[in-house]
Amino acid sequence: MPRLCKPSVSVPEYIITMEETLEFAERVHVGKPQLPLALRLIRNTGVQKRHIVQPIEKTLRHPGLEERNRIYELESKKRCPEVIEKALGNADVTPQEIDAIIYVSCTGFLMPSLTAWLINKMGLRSDTRQIPIAQLGCAAGGAAINRAHDFCLAHPGSNVLIVSCELCSLCYQPDEDDIGSLLSDGLFGDAVAAAVVRGNGGIGIELERNSSYLIPNTEDWISYEVRDTGFHFRLDRRVPGTMEPLAPVLRDFSTNHGWDIGNLDFYLVHAGGPRILDDLAKFLDVDRKVFRHSWATLSEHGNIASAVVLDAARRLFEEDTPMPDATGLIAGFGPGITAEMALGRWADDAPRNLD
C-alpha cells in the first residue's frame, strides 16, 4: 500500500511573537471598535510565535498585488527546493523516481504552476504528472495526501511528491478591521513543507482509506474576495462550530473501516484554531492531548494552512517511533466547508538500498 514518508518542513527566518502581534494590532488599528474583542481572541489562540517571509515593517505595508505576487514567486522558488531535497531523502527516493508532483498553495498565483519550474529545477522527469491545487485552502494538505494515495492506487508502484507553500503574510490587508480579518492577522503564519507518498516500501504511514466531505451550503463561510489589492480573507463567525457536524462524519468514516475513532494511536489534524481542536476532542470523546502534534504546530508556527497536517506528521515521525501497525487519522479542514480525511497505520519495513 502507498506510504506517507517523513515530511520536511521549513519556516522563514523572521519571527513575530504573540506580544508583538498584540502591540502591532493596537498600534495599526487603534480606535477601532472591534479591536478589544479581536485582541482577546488573539490571546486565546495559543499562538506563541509565527514565522514570516519579510520583516514585520514590510509585511504591514501593502505594495500592491503585482509586487506581492512577485515576492510570492521569488520566495517560493527560494524556499521550496531545499525542503523538497530533504523530503526526497527522508523517503529514500531520487528525483527521477517521482511520477507525479502535487503543489498546494492558496497564498499566491502562478501560471504555469510552480510544478513546471520544480520539475526543471529539481531534475524530475519530463513526463512527471503535474497536479496543482490552489483553492482548497487549509484542507489542501489533507487533499494532497489523499490525491497522492489515489494516484498510487491507480498507478501501482508510483511515487508522488507533495509540496505545500503557504506564505500567508503576503495576504495581509492593512485596511481590513472586521473581527475575522483581525483574528486571522494574529493566527496565520508562513511555512513550506514537502513529503513523498511512496507506492512501495519506505517507512511511514501506510495509507488505507481516504474520503472527502462537504458541509452543505457553507461555501461562503471561508472565502477570498479577490480585489485590486489581492486576496481578502473572509471568515464567518460560525466556522469555529464546524466540528460538531464534522465529528460524526469522521466517526462514521473510521467505523466503516472497522476502527474506533476514539481509540486510535495518533491523530494528525488541521490546527485551524484552539476551538477547532477542543471541540473535536469533545465531540470525538478523546483527550485533547491526542492532538499534541497539532497543538505544537499551532503554538510554534500558528495556522500554516495546508502545511499544518504535514508539520504535525513530521512531529509524529520525530517522536518515539510508533509501534508497528499503530493506527491513526489524518484530517484537514478548509473552505467549502471541506474535510479531507485519511486512515493509515505505521509501517517500518527497512528502506531499500538504492546503490
Catalytic center residues:
138
Spatial CA neighbour of 229 closest among 305, 175, 187: 175
> Taking a C-beta distance cutoff of 8 angstroms, is the pair 46, 271 a contact?
no
- Count the helices and strands in the chain (H runs, E runs): 11, 14
How distant, in Å, are the alpha carbons of 143, 199, 215, 338 from that of 219? 17, 34, 8, 9
Q: What angle do CA 351, 291, 2 make, to 5 degrees?
A: 30
> What is the per-residue DSSP string for 27-57?
HHTTT-TTHHHHHHHHHTT---EEEESS-HH
HSE value, Cβ hemisphere, 13 Å, CA-based, for 150: 14
Is 83:193 a contact under the CB 8 Å cutoff?
Answer: yes
Cα–Cα distance for residue pair 320/339, rounded to 1 Å: 29
CA distances from 351 to 48, 93, 198, 206, 310 (A): 37, 10, 11, 14, 21
Grid coordinates belonging to 28: 495599526
Specify which residues 104 forms β-bridges with: 133, 164
Q: How many CB atoms lie within 10 A of CB 121?
A: 14
For residue 101, whether the previous peptide bond is cis, meaning omega lies within 30 degrees of 0, is no
CA distance 81 to 118: 8
Displacement of CA 205 from its chain's centroid (Å):
17
Please state, as a whole number, how many other Cβ atoms lie within 10 Å of the Cβ of residue 217.
8
